Amino acid sequence: MRKSGPPRGLISYIVLELLEEKPRYGYEILKEITDISGGHWEPSYGSVYPILYKFEEEGYAERIERADEPDRKYFALTDAGRDHLAEKRREVGGKARDFADVILGFYHMYVAFATDDRFDVHPEPDEWRFDAEYSGWIAEQVIRHHERDFGEFERVPDTPEEFHARQGDADAPDESDAGDDEEEPRADADGGRPEEAAADGGTGE
């Protein structure tokens, strides 16, 4: 279970990848991240430029002049930046579980707002609602994207404990704990009660 928002270092990793593709300026990077996220996430303006300036100070990026756009601050990746990117790829490559915790944690909160009697939110007319219809639409979009990128979706019959054990997760929940009244309920990313599986917001650098 994560106790914070998206993994730290996510934005800086994406910035490195985008600079590796071609020189870019800050606002262009923001818009590209928004496109990658399907229009659902855009880091704050104040988060990208400090990263670019930090990369410049550390020698990972350098400013370049463009005659056709003299007023824009373009940054290009250096050789040191490419070496740093290789390190960040390994770092972020080990955080798939953290990403899943964030996604599932917020989805569980969405469902909790719709079903848990402790919450009583009132949407404005013609706005999105916390209910089964919109929950189904979210799930439908995830399945459509899965099938677009990975092929036909097949239901996974495993319990959360079985799935984690099959993947060899070192921190997999112990199935024997499920009926132990002495233990607090676990807020597992794939299971557990939705009100206990929240993930705080924030992007992290």
Beta bridge partners of 62: 76
Q: Which two tokens mark 74?
A: 């373009």
How many domains is the chain partitioned into structurally?
2
Which domain-ending residue is among 68, 93, 118?
Answer: 93
Q: Note down the domain range covering 88.
A: 10-93
Same domain for 47 and 124?
no
Token pair 């992007």: residue? 203
Single pTM value for the model: 0.74
Segments in 10-44 forming alpha helices (H): 10-21, 26-36
Question: d(Cα 82, Cα 88) in Å, to the nearest integer?
Answer: 10
Same domain for 102 and 192?
yes
Same domain for 61 and 108?
no
Residue-level pLDDT at 189? 36
Which domain-ending residue is among 25, 60, 93?
Answer: 93
Q: Summarize pLDDT for 91-137 with one digit per residue, the tens.
A: 999 988 888 888 999 999 999 999 999 999 998 989 999 999 999 99
